[in-house]
Amino acid sequence: MVVPAGAGSAAGFRDEDYRNAGAEVDDGPAREADLVLAVGPVTAGDVAPTGAVISFLDPLGDPAGIAALAGAGITAFAMEAIPRTTLAQSMDALSSQATSAGYEAVLAGAAQLPRFLPMMMTAAGTIRPAKVLVLGAGVAGLTAIATARRLGAIVAGYDIRPAAREQVESLGATFVGGPVEESAEDAGGYAGAVTEDTRQAQLEALATHVAAADLVITTAQVPGREAPLLVTTEMVEAMAPGSVVVDLAAASGGNCEVSAPDRTVVHHGVTVMGPVDLPSRTAGHSSDMYSRNVVSLLTHLTGEDGMLAMDMDDEITAAACVAHDGAVVSERVRALLEEGS
């Protein structure tokens, strides 16, 4: 078990901690390993030929990367591809990292906002609570709603999936009236792309709510596609100066027309942030959760002899495995590769 020197320093883990847990800390150049456990990205050069890797691998965004791993004979498991089922909950790294992102989005936005979030009764007058609007109520959105509520803001949420209404309301937020579509949710719980009519109806319904919000947090994603546009430039321009937008979808095309990945821009006095790696701001807890997700998957994949047991009839193994035996085994990745060739 080898850990690169300094790997945990930003998360508050010392090399000593890894040594005490029985690992070897390696100061040298990266070595090929039979099994690589990583956050990502991982290339074929990191893994021994015929070895295996468990990592975030962005299979839908980088199908060629999966083909390269397969070509090198590597067995690859993508954390993104683990099914969102009750059985696989302990392995669900998309959820654990989205929890960090949703929490951090509120803190990052609040830090930019020239106002308090809670109501305050002071000798210098009563301060009204800030209004926070969260668009997209999946794991990150629901965590953002809960966090903003704990900080005392008045919170509203919206999602295209009707099932999200109850979850938003159970956190003490109001559900913004906008179009919802039963058909938007696929068997995996994910939203799909919406029609042009629905898109227009969404923009019309959201405009007044965005204009009234002090802080807008957008988290809407459609796996394997560009993120839906929910906040146009015109909508940003209608917000009060000093307001803040935090766009968690900036890296996948953006929910806000003004946002740019990994940048903070000020447009018409409105601060628009496009953070791409919020979980690293709570690196300690993000790492704790991620390591438990990886160990849980690894335990699921290994037989009593400690070797990988490749049971492709098992729902979790079949979904998470994207490359095996020299071939890309994920149908969605194969389809993307064919589209691109």
Nearest distance from residue 57's CB to ligand NAD, in Å?
Answer: 16
Strand partners, 328: 323
- For position 160 contacting ligand NAD by CB under 6 A, the verdict is yes
Question: What residues have CB less than 8 Å from 3, skipping those under 6 apart?
Answer: 15, 18, 23, 24, 25, 26
- For position 283 contacting ligand NAD by CB under 6 A, the verdict is no
Whether 95 is catalytic is: yes
Nearest distance from residue 41's CB to ligand NAD, in Å?
Answer: 20
Of 15, 92, 214, 247, the one binding ligand NAD (CB under 6 A) is: 92
Four-CA torsion 19, 20, 22, 28, nearest 10 degrees = 0
Nearer to ligand NAD, 219 or 330 (CB): 219
- For position 292 contacting ligand NAD by CB under 6 A, the verdict is no
- For position 194 contacting ligand NAD by CB under 6 A, the verdict is yes
Whether 84 is catalytic is: yes
User: How distant is the alpha carbon of residue 332 from its chain centre?
Assistant: 20
Q: Which amino acid is at 232?
A: T
Whether 92 is catalytic is: yes
Rounded to 5, what percent of the chain is helix, strand, coil? 40, 20, 40
Nearest distance from residue 93's CB to ligand NAD, in Å?
Answer: 11
DSSP class of residue 205 equals H
With contacts defined by CB under 6 A, name the span among 7-15, 90-98, 106-114, 300-308 that binds ligand NAD: 90-98
Q: Token digits for 317? A: 């193994």
Q: Which position among 58, 112, 150, 190 bears the catalytic label?
A: 190
Kindly provide the b/e burial profile for residues 36-53, where b requires at least 16 CB atoms within 10 angstroms of the residue's own CB.
Answer: bbbbeebebebbbeebbb
Helix spans in the chain (H): 15-20, 63-71, 93-112, 139-150, 164-170, 196-212, 233-237, 283-301, 315-320, 331-340
231 vs 270: CA distance, rounded Å: 13
Binding residue count for ligand NAD, defined by CB under 6 A: 30
Nearest distance from residue 232's CB to ligand NAD, in Å?
Answer: 13
Residue spans of beta strands (DSSP E) within 230-269: 244-247, 264-267
Q: Which residues from 210-229 bind ligand NAD, rule CB under 6 A?
A: 219-223, 228
Q: Which position among 89, 90, 280, 291 bears the catalytic label?
A: 89
- For position 136 contacting ligand NAD by CB under 6 A, the verdict is yes
Q: Token digits for 210? A: 């965005």
Whether 103 is catalytic is: no
Whether 190 is catalytic is: yes
Nearer to ligand NAD, 89 or 280 (CB): 89
Q: Which position among 55, 95, 167, 286 bears the catalytic label?
A: 95
- For position 72 contacting ligand NAD by CB under 6 A, the verdict is no
Of 70, 137, 176, 231, the one binding ligand NAD (CB under 6 A) is: 137
Handedness of CA 181, 249, 80, 141 (dihedral sign): negative
Of 16, 20, 27, 86, the one binding ligand NAD (CB under 6 A) is: 86
Nearer to ligand NAD, 55 or 167 (CB): 167
Cβ(178)–Cβ(201) under 8 Å?
yes
Q: Could you list the active site residues?
A: 84, 89, 92, 95, 190
Interface residues with ligand NAD (CB under 6 A) are 84-86, 89, 92, 94-95, 98, 136-141, 159-161, 164, 189-191, 194, 202, 219-223, 228, 230
